[in-house]
Amino acid sequence: MLFISTDLALKTQFFILLTILLSIISVLVGFFHPGVPEATTHTIVQGGFTPFKTASFTDVFALFFPAVTGFTAGVALSGDLKNPRNDIPKGTILAIFTGLVVYLVLAIGFNLFVNRNLLINNYNFLQQVAWIPILVTAGIWGATLSSALGGILGGPRILQAISMDGITPPLFSKTFGKNKEPRNALIFTFLISEIGILIGDLNTVARLVTTFYITTYGFINLAFILEKWASANFRPSFKVTGWVGIIGFITSAIIMFKMDMPATFGAIIILGGLYYLIRKKQLYQDISDVWPSVLASLIRITISRFSKMKLSEAHWRANILLFSGGEAIRPHLMDFSKQIAGKQGLISNFDLIYKPEEQRLFPIRHEISPENLDKESEGIFSIKQYCNNIYKGIEMISATYGFSGVEPNTIVLGWGRQTEDPLRFASMLGYLENLNLNIVMLDYDKIRGFGQYNQIDVWLRGGSNNGNLMLALVKFLHGNFPWHRAKVRLLMIAQTDQNREKLNKQMNRLLETMRMKADVQIVTQNKNENIHDTIKTHSSKSDLTFMGMAPVIPGMEKNFIENADNLYRNLGTIVLVKASDFFSELDIGKQKPNNHSENSGKKTAEHI
């Protein structure tokens, strides 16, 4: 019948409804009809119903549950409704309310008008209670047929709809006739139904069906909660408080696990498989998706709370503002930034494109760089920006980019060895230093690169906070695959041999505090060489060398550049670090001022 016409099946439901209504009336009239029979010996069934006082929650729930499953047939047929937006909520509530009333009226009537022994011992007590017994049999058949027709009407249409969305095979999306009958989906649904019949154990089938029904109800409530909380476009015509959804979801979850835990886990696995299939196929339809709204709401809450928190050095993560000059040109800067950011940090990569003919600093609004759109790296945001002055562009972006809670805390850029204006470059570093941001500059050796990723040298200087930042960066660096086996050396220059033992103890205590493994090496500087020569002697073969950056003193930019170029030449790839005030100073090797020093009272631009 369904294969021929859905309309015929729907019209049949009216006759079934009439039959069920007459059977209920027959039972209700029987309550008041004189001569309601008592239980007799021949009506007692061995192993009959369990008395109510010992019935479990599962037994009572199983009795009532069918009253709240029939409404899904109407929901599944929403495509055939004239006004589904209004008809579905009203019809659903009325169907549940009607079923609840019928169940309560019958339960109260059985308690008041039917003999208790008859209820406990006779499966067929309604035949004796009813005014016209044959109507009870007709009502049972009608209820069974109604449930079967409801399932076989709705199931194929659901399968047809998800096939049209590309989730299931397109074979089931094919339609027939003017009413677009889902005949292929109907045949498949019929075969599944036959498998359930051939199982031959109604209890097993009931377990599976009940679990999937409750799972559906639970996720309907969850979807309602998420939409109401996060979606700005969620404006249902039928308004319900969010607590209804929360209670409904929690209750469904509790009932699922209480009734049948194995079947519950099976349902979760199947739903997880369907979700994975949809994600794998990357199915994006022109429908409202709640997850962007949920994530936006979570971001809003997280940022609001995060901005009020005071972080310590132990919880510091790199939020990097990278000026790569184009990832294709200098890929080493992006690779290095990924390594020091780790899995917890963020990277905002600005590709500044020089446009000297433009009148404004930033002629057009920045755009997302297409070269990173297809990458799977999380926490990396590449932005392309045109500007008429690179130095001013870096200064402006560094001063304004970000907002409370997620401000960049570290600027990463390359050492300006090829810059046409080294003094302006040094002046820019001084500006960035005044912004109180961590500055990390990579001087990449194009010949040696990062070598064999075998050795990292960290040069410390007493009384500076650069050391804490360098150790934090090395910790993240060491957690990445290329560097995970690299040997880390902590080096410090001792002014005299008497300080060597004291410095060694202090540095080992520092490593214990930071839970890092490294070799400590105290270097004694020869009288005939300067600090730059000492560093080159010990770190010329290192794959990566960390050093602190001297402050850029106004008026001494040329001295700053000359000292830096002299030190970096023939030293391989190095990282120059200037820490912000967030990091505390290291007391290791801190020297008291010497009034007789030749540099006393004189500022220098010396790098370590």
Quote the CA–CA distance of 366 and 361 in Å, as a whole number: 12
For residue 92, pLDDT beyond 50: yes
Q: What is the pLDDT of residue 369?
A: 56
pLDDT(48) > 60: no
- Helix or strand (DSSP H, E) at 387: strand 380-387
Strands 410-414 and 319-323, bridge-based pairing: parallel
pLDDT tier, 259 (very low <50, low <70, confident <90, very high otherwise):
confident
Choice between 115 and 528, residue whose per-residue pLDDT is larger: 115
> Once rounded to an integer, what is the mean pLDDT over residues 69-95?
71
Measured between alpha carbons, how far is 406 from 403 in angstroms, rounded to an integer?
Answer: 6
Grade residue 40 by pLDDT with cuts at 50, 70 and 90. very low
Question: What pLDDT, on the 0 to 100 scale, is given for residue 193?
Answer: 80
Q: Which two tokens stand for residue 87?
A: 């008809």
Q: Which residue has the higher pLDDT, 170 or 290?
A: 170
CA dist 326 and 329 (Å) reads 5
CB 163 within 8 A of CB 175: no
Sequence-distant (6+) residues with CB within 8 A of 438 are 409, 410, 411, 469, 577, 578, 579, 580, 582, 583
pLDDT at residue number 300? 77
Q: Give residue-wise pLDDT tens across range 310-353.
A: 777 777 888 999 998 776 778 889 999 999 988 788 898 888 88
* pLDDT score at 596: 40
Return the CATH fold of 443-591+602-608. Rossmann fold (3.40.50)
Q: Which helix (H) or strand (E) holds 519?
A: strand 519-524
Q: What is the pLDDT of residue 45?
A: 36
Q: Would you state the pLDDT for residue 370?
A: 52
Please say if the pLDDT value at position 477 is more than 80: yes
Pairwise pLDDT comparison (213 vs 371), residue with the higher score: 213
Mean pLDDT lowest among 229-238, 248-257, 501-510? 229-238
Out of 474-478, 502-506, 526-530, the most confident range is 474-478
Instruction: Write out pLDDT tens, residues 148-187.
Output: 777 777 778 888 887 887 777 888 888 777 767 788 888 8
- % of the chain surpassing 90 pLDDT: 11
Q: What is the pTM of this model?
A: 0.62
Residue 336 pLDDT:
92
Q: Check pLDDT > 50 for residue 598.
A: no
* Alpha-carbon dihedral sign for residues 13, 149, 110, 33: positive
**pLDDT at residue 395, as a whole number:** 92
Mean pLDDT of 262-269: 83
Average pLDDT over the chain, rounded to an integer: 78
In the numeric block, which tokens belong to residue 375?
């990458």
Backbone angles phi, psi at 63, to 5 degrees: -70, -40
- The mean pLDDT of 128-141, rounded to a whole number, is 87
Spatial separation of the C-alpha atoms in residues 516 and 472, rounded to whole Å: 10
Predicted pLDDT of residue 282: 58
Domain boundaries defined on the chain: 1-200, 202-309, 320-414, 443-591+602-608
What pLDDT digit, counting tens, does each position of 116-126 carry?
788 777 777 88
Which of residues 73 and 431 earns the better pLDDT score?
431
